[in-house]
Amino acid sequence: MVTWSTGTVAMAMGTLDSAALMTGLSSFAIASLVRQRLPGGSAEVETWWQEHLGRAVLIWSVLEMPAIVGAISLFATRHVPAFLALGAVSVASLVRTRPARLRRQ
């Protein structure tokens, strides 16, 4: 499907791919910093989520950025490795910050 929609798929890394990877890794670092500032789950579940829902949504939206950047880099450069790396980082990060882990239960 990728080769049909974008042409020939290249396996080499270029400058745009490197920039996309750095963007993905920096978004992972930003999300980790925001996650560290979340307090533990000693309060009631509903109270905790009411107080920290905005930060949780911020973390998840920042972690979805690598997948979007990876899709754009695949479309623009037709290089599969950057797309696969950014997709893996995005999925692993979203699993790492699932709701139960954000509250640290």
Domain limits for position 85:
14-36+45-102
**Is the residue at 1 inside a domain?**
no
* 79: three-class secondary structure by DSSP: strand
Q: How confident is the model at residue 7 (pLDDT cuts 50, 70, 90)?
A: low
The span from the first CA to the last CA of the chain, in angstroms, equals 41
The number of domains in the chain is 1
Answer yes or no: is 62 within a domain.
yes
Q: How many degrees, rounded to 5, is the angle at CA 93 between CA 89 and CA 98?
A: 155
- Whether the full predicted model's pTM is greater than 0.85, yes or no, is no
Query: Residue 6: inside a domain, yes or no?
Result: no
Q: Summarize pLDDT for 22-35 with one digit per residue, the tens.
A: 887 888 888 888 88
